[in-house]
Amino acid sequence: MALWIGVVANSQSEPPGLLVAVLFLVPLALHAWLGWVVAQWWTLGLAALPVVAAVVVGGLGSALWIVVILLELFPGAPLIAAGVYARLWQAEKENPADDHLWSF
């Protein structure tokens, strides 16, 4: 998001469509990947970190943190949860005897 604001939004020219698509899809993939890699439900709490960063950078008077909250509520946090769920589901399929996988 910082890259988008600093480079693309502040420029006077229109960015290429491919760049816009990549800058839109990469954060989506990173959220799902984060959930997959960590595979713990507390990972959902990490969705608050961009909100804290937006408040620190923009201040409470800025609308930036509101936009970041909306982007973390959907699609950020659900993608993290989907990554965690997919990883735990795969682990359960591989070893159904592990009951501790679904615990918080």
Per-domain residue ranges for the chain?
29-102
User: What are the tens digits of pLDDT across the range 24-76?
Assistant: 899 899 999 999 999 999 999 999 998 998 898 888 998 888 988 998 999 99
Spatial neighbors of 72 by CB under 8 A, at least 6 apart, are 47, 48, 50, 51
User: What are the tens digits of pLDDT across the range 19-28?
Assistant: 888 888 998 9
The predicted pLDDT at position 77 comes to 95
Helix axes 49-58, 64-71, angle to 10 degrees: 170
Spatial neighbors of 52 by CB under 8 A, at least 6 apart, are none
pLDDT at 12 over 80: no
